[in-house]
Structure formats: structure tokens, C-alpha cells
């Protein structure tokens, strides 16, 4: 017997329109249409009952107006083909595909439960043990997609479905494409897109892993990793800056998990994990090191009754283990040999160098080098690398620094920024000297070096 969601969730029938006419959809043999969930400009999604399988399903239909347009039809047929070839417990299943009056449709598994986006909205930060479990399940899903030589390209909380039995399923392959396909890409969701995706560079498996990192960051902190008031500023945020440190938003997060998330969100694809299987291995090792056994039943319990869910205090576990290890080492190593002392001295020197480097980056801002790589899978014109240039900005005085009205930090700072080609306004807002504005123009592929110091005559 399936679980019944507790009252107050608001997701079970939210957005369903049972009054609208489903048109020709009620003529599909074997399916009883009883609700319209979404009516968009390209597709309509219906909730239906599969009389042959005796289960509730979703039917995604390409709108008649879109079906006659080659681009939309080709994209929908690609989604249909790709989703039909994927079969994994962590992927929402495609049950059937067909055509009705020249309108193609896809019959999808219906997952009774919230999306991850709805869960975050309801609870903000999720229990850390559940964050690790969800990330592991997503890594399994992504690994399955990549084994089929497919990129998902739109991994985000809205496309992650949680069943009331605790299953985690990745869905919506509308933006997916095969790795060998070099046709123009379709824009996903900006806040979850990788830097190379935005810049129109070569896109591979690590691009999906960047999106996984953005999702992991969000379920840990309750905040979107890269978001701003406008589309342009969000894209600049993804390309140029790191999100607010997890340790500041959630100090109890284990350092190993923070490092995993940081590696997933590395600006350079080569600095991320090699594949989703390695991510899964790291997360599994982390769980074992903390004695976690969180599984599907635990997520089901949280969905059923979040107020009674008892998460594991990982910080307390870490402190206990650290104290135990430190104590055992003190007992075993009363003195240090000269060799060990020399190694420690060298290590301390290296740590000092890294500490000084960290201070420089803290006060002057990290230097983000311009991305490199050939363009093999071009984005639409607005997002190709030909439409970007670089600004080497050095602000020597104090004050808020803004580019095109968006705050990028406080001076003094040094940063190498990726900006769209064209004119830009740079403002330095000093509380005593006032605002100094500099108008610049970014050219394709060029680096403009600019120093601004209000203290200089």
C-alpha cells in the first residue's frame, strides 16, 4: 500500500486543472485522462490512468503549433528516443511513446511525492545525512545517463522527483543530447549551467557534475549557489565567482563534504571529478567514515513526518573521532625523529606560503583565468565564446565595486572577469570620495587591463 502524504504539503494536487478540456487526449487507447498539470507554449502535461498497467502515469504531448515546427519536433523526438533507451531505478521511466493526430507524446512514470525544489522550499536546509543520500542517488542516476553516452544538461531541483517511499529519481530529458551530437545546444537553467556551457566551449560529462554540485550546495545551505537579479548577472556569477562558502551558511557541514561540493563546482572542467562513479565512491566513503546508514526508508520517514525525523549530528561524530585519534597519537608518538621534524618543518613552510596566498586572495579577490578550449558544441549566438572578452580589473582604493549596476565586491580587489562583448559601466562607490564611473568596451577574445584608485590624483 502506498503512503498517503501528510496534510499541509500542498504538492499532491497543486497546479492540477481538472476542469480544462483535454481535447483529443481522451481518445488515446488504454489511457484515461483526468487532469491537466501544465499547459505551456511547447508541451502540455496530463495526469492519466493507464488501464493496462493499472497505474497513474503522466502524458507529455507536443502542442499542435510546436509539432509543425521542425526545431521543436526534432527536439521532442530526440527526448523521446533518449528517454526510451534509459532504464535505471534513479531515472523516471518512459513507459510508452506514440503519436496522436501528428502530435507526438511520451508516457512517463508518475512519481507521487514532491520535487526536490518543493522540499527545499518547505524546509530550506535538509538534514545532512539526507543530503549525502540524495547526492549519492543522483550520482547513480547521472552515471546511468552517461553510460548511455548522453548528457542530461538540465539537472536542477525542479527535475528531481522524490517518491513517498523514499526513492530519488532524475527526470525531464527535454534538454538531453547524445555526446556525439554537435548540433546547437538548448539552454538549460542558467543558475545550474556550467561555465563552459555558458561560454560555448566543449561540454562533457563534467558539465552535468557541475550541476550536481549546485544541487548539493542548495540542499545543504537552502540557498541557490549562483543567482542574481538578472540573467546576465547570474551568468557572470557562474563564470567568475564562487558561491558563499558552505562553512559560513552551515558550519556543521563536514569538511570532506564541503570539499566534495567545491570540487564539483570547480570553474575548470578538468579540476572536477572525472565521472559520476568517482563522486559516488567519495560520498559513499564519507558516509561510511561517519557510520551513516541513511537509505530510502529514512527519506520516506522524513517526507512522512519531518518534525519527528532524527538526523545524525555529524559534527559531534567528527569531534569525537578527532579527539580519539589525537589521543591515540599522543600515546603512540612521544617524540619526533629528526627526519619527521624536517618533514613537518617543510610542511609548515608550504602551509605558510599557501596561507599568505590565501590572504592575498581574501583581500584582493581570486584571479579567475580565462577559460580555454575549442568550441565543438556551439551554443546559440548570445552564449558563444565569440561574444565574450576579459577584464583584468585592479581596484586600489576602498569602496563598493559595481559592473553595470551589479555589485561584484569591495575594494581593494583584483579580479580577472569574463564579460559579454560591448559597453559596460564600472562604478566605485566610496563613502567619502563619492562615485567614480569608468565606461569601458569589451572586445571579443581580448583582455582589457584597468586600474582604478580613487586615492590617486
Distance separating alpha carbons of residues 156 and 192, to the nearest angstrom: 7
pLDDT given for residue 14 in this prediction: 33
Categorize the per-residue pLDDT at 134 as very low, low, confident or very high, splitting at 50, 70 and 90.
Answer: very high
Q: What is the pLDDT of residues 257-307, one digit of tens each?
A: 999 999 999 999 999 999 999 999 999 999 999 999 999 999 999 999 999
Element (H, E) at 98: strand 94-100
Residues designated catalytic: 154
pLDDT given for residue 112 in this prediction: 94
Distance separating alpha carbons of residues 141 and 246, to the nearest angstrom: 25
Higher pLDDT, 54 or 356: 54
Distance separating alpha carbons of residues 359 and 419, to the nearest angstrom: 26
pTM to 2 decimal places: 0.69
> Does 3.30.499.10 match the CATH number of domain 116-308?
no
Average pLDDT over residues 167-176: 80
Average pLDDT over residues 375-389: 48
Q: What is the pLDDT of residues 200-235, one digit of tens each?
A: 888 999 999 999 999 999 999 999 999 877 788 888
Superfamily, domain 381-452: Carboxypeptidase-like, regulatory domain (2.60.40.1120)
Whole-number percent of the chain with pLDDT over 90: 40
Average pLDDT over residues 11-32: 52
Distance separating alpha carbons of residues 259 and 38, to the nearest angstrom: 39
Q: CATH 1.10.510.10 residue ranges in the chain? A: 116-308
Stretch among 35-49, 117-131, 175-189, 384-398 having the lowest mean pLDDT: 175-189
Sequence-distant (≥ 6) Cβ neighbours of residue 348 within 8 angstroms: none
Alpha-carbon distance values, 263 to 77, 270, 275, 334, 408 (Å): 35, 10, 12, 37, 23
Stretch among 30-34, 180-184, 205-209, 247-251 having the lowest mean pLDDT: 180-184
As a whole number, the mean pLDDT across the chain is 78
Element (H, E) at 285: helix 276-289
Higher pLDDT, 360 or 261: 261
Q: CATH 3.30.200.20 residue ranges in the chain? A: 23-109
Q: CATH 2.60.40.1120 residue ranges in the chain? A: 381-452
pLDDT given for residue 407 in this prediction: 75
Cβ–Cβ < 8 Å for 441, 420: no
> Which CATH number does 23-109 carry?
3.30.200.20
Categorize the per-residue pLDDT at 188 as very low, low, confident or very high, splitting at 50, 70 and 90.
Answer: low
Q: What is the pLDDT of residues 314-348, one digit of tens each?
A: 766 656 555 544 544 434 333 333 343 444 344 44
Cβ–Cβ < 8 Å for 440, 426: yes
Average pLDDT over residues 130-154: 94
Alpha-carbon distance values, 436 to 137, 393, 399, 424, 431 (Å): 50, 15, 10, 14, 11
Stretch among 74-88, 170-184, 237-251 having the lowest mean pLDDT: 170-184
Q: What is the pLDDT of residues 103-121, one digit of tens each?
A: 999 999 999 999 999 999 9
Amino acid at each position: 500500500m502506498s503512503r498517503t502524504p501528510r496534510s499541509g504539503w500542498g504538492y499532491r494536487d497543486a497546479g492540477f486543472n481538472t476542469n480544462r478540456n483535454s481535447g483529443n487526449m481522451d481518445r488515446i487507447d488504454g489511457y484515461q485522462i483526468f487532469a491537466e498539470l501544465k499547459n505551456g507554449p511547447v508541451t502540455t502535461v496530463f495526469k492519466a490512468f493507464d488501464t493496462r498497467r493499472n497505474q497513474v502515469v503522466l502524458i507529455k504531448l507536443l502542442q499542435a503549433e510546436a509539432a509543425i515546427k521542425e526545431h521543436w519536433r526534432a527536439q521532442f523526438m530526440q527526448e523521446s528516443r533518449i528517454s526510451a533507451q534509459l532504464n535505471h531505478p534513479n531515472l523516471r521511466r518512459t513507459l510508452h511513446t506514440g503519436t496522436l493526430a501528428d502530435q507526438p507524446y511520451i508516457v512517463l512514470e508518475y512519481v507521487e511525492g514532491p520535487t526536490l525544489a518543493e522540499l527545499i522550499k518547505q524546509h530550506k536546509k535538509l538534514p545532512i545525512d539526507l543530503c549525502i543520500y540524495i547526492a549519492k542517488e543522483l550520482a547513480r542516476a547521472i552515471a546511468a545517463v552517461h553510460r548511455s553516452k548522453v548528457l542530461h544538461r538540465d539537472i536542477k531541483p525542479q527535475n528531481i522527483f522524490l517518491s513517498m517511499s523514499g526513492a530519488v529519481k532524475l527526470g525531464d530529458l527535454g534538454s538531453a543530447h547524445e555526446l556525439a551530437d554537435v548540433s546547437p545546444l538548448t539552454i538549460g537553467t542558467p543558475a545550474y549551467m556550467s561555465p563552459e556551457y555558458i561560454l560555448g566551449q566543449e561540454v562533457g560529462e563534467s558539465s552535468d557534475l557541475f550541476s550536481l554540485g549546485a544541487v548539493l550546495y542548495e540542499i545543504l545551505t537552502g540557498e541557490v549557489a549562483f543567482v542574481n537579479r538578472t540573467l546576465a548577472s547570474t551568468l557572470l556569477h557562474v563564470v567568475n565567482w564562487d558561491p558563499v562558502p558552505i562553512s559560513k551558511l552551515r558550519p556543521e557541514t563536514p569538511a570532506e563534504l564541503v570539499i566534495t561540493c567545491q570540487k564539483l563546482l570547480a570553474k575548470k572542467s578538468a579540476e572536477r571529478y572525472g565521472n559520476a562513479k568517482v563522486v559516488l565512491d567519495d560520498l559513499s566513503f564519507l558516509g561510511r567514515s561517519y557510520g551513516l546508514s541513511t537509505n530510502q526508508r529514512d527519506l520516506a520517514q522524513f517526507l512522512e513526518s519531518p518534525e519527528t525525523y532524527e538526523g545524525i549530528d555529524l559534527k559531534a561524530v567528527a569531534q569525537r573521532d578527532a579527539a580519539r585519534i589525537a589521543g591515540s597519537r599522543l600515546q603512540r608518538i612521544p617524540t619526533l625523529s629528526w627526519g619527521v621534524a624536517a618533514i613537518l618543518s617543510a610542511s609548515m613552510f608550504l602551509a605558510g606560503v599557501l596561507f599568505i596566498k590565501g590572504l592575498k586572495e581574501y583581500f584582493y579577490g581570486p584571479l579567475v583565468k580565462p577559460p580555454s578550449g575549442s568550441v565543438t558544441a556551439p551554443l546559440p549566438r548570445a552564449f558563444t565564446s565569440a561574444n565574450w572578452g576579459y577584464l583584468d580589473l585592479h581596484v586600489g582604493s576602498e569602496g563598493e565595486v559595481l559592473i553595470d549596476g551589479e555589485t561584484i565586491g569591495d575594494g581593494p580587489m583584483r579580479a580577472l572577469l569574463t564579460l559579454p562583448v560591448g559597453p559596460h559601466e564600472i562604478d566605485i562607490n566610496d563613502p567619502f570620495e563619492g562615485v567614480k564611473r569608468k565606461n569601458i568596451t569589451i572586445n571579443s577574445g581580448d583582455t582589457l587591463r584597468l586600474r582604478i584608485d580613487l586615492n590617486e590624483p
